[in-house]
Amino acid sequence: MVRNYNELKELNKLKNQEIITEEEFNIEKERILNQNQFTPISQVSYNQFEKPKYAGFFQRLGSLLIDAMILMPISFFVMWGNEQSRLFTLYYFVPGLIIMFLYHIYLVKEYGGTPGKLLLNIKITKLDETNVGYKEAIIRQIINLILGVALQVYTILTVLNMTDVEYFSYNWVTRGQAIIEYSPMWYYIILALTNIWVYSEFIVMLTNKERRAIHDFMAGTIVINKKIEQIPINPTHNNL
């Protein structure tokens, strides 16, 4: 405001000294007054308020944490089951696959994301922003599925080689350590591949502007912010 006042003051001097014409004075005066003109909210274009098209790293990380919390009761149930039966991992193998399919594939195909993504208002789509199908949803999870199944098979084979007396002689912490001690060499290979996969996913996601992870490139998908329905505002409407 001070700057505008000083400019108008100098402009008046030029006019009074007849250095500029009346028409030039009016044009320049209008330009100065319009520099900081306030634009009513009803006249601001919608795109100034829109979120970025692609979901950011922390949005996607947040959705993973929300999903982990939602699935936490199942994790506690598995821990409880392992305390009740040496073969619980075997019994839970197929139900676990069904839960994984429903949560990470069916919900993605039907609603465009897991509950964590939907709660953060982000959606998985194809590159043209159309809905994904089972093909894309399965490809996105195929590596996680293979690695997860491999680790589950390893655990099942290990506990099958233990007796009930040996199995229940450990608590839930020391039992895990004992199972690792029984591990064949291929377990460490699978574990290493799992770590490489997880870290690679994050690195790739952080190094491209669309924030696509490796599984997005494999499936031809992107994760975007959902578009909020725009309600037109009548500029001539007077608020009471």
Instruction: Tell me the per-residue pLDDT of 12-58, one tens digit each, with 9 for 90 and over.
Output: 777 776 677 777 778 877 777 776 554 444 444 444 445 578 999 99
Output 214 or 46, whichever has higher pLDDT: 214
Confidence of residue 206 (pLDDT cuts 50, 70, 90): very high
Confidence of residue 2 (pLDDT cuts 50, 70, 90): low
Q: What is the largest CA-CA distance in the chain?
A: 107
Residue 38 to residue 59: CA distance in whole angstroms: 33
Residue 28, phi then psi, degrees to nearest 5: -70, -35
Taking the CA atoms of residue 215, residue 220, residue 226 and residue 232 in that order, the dihedral angle to the nearest 10 degrees is 160
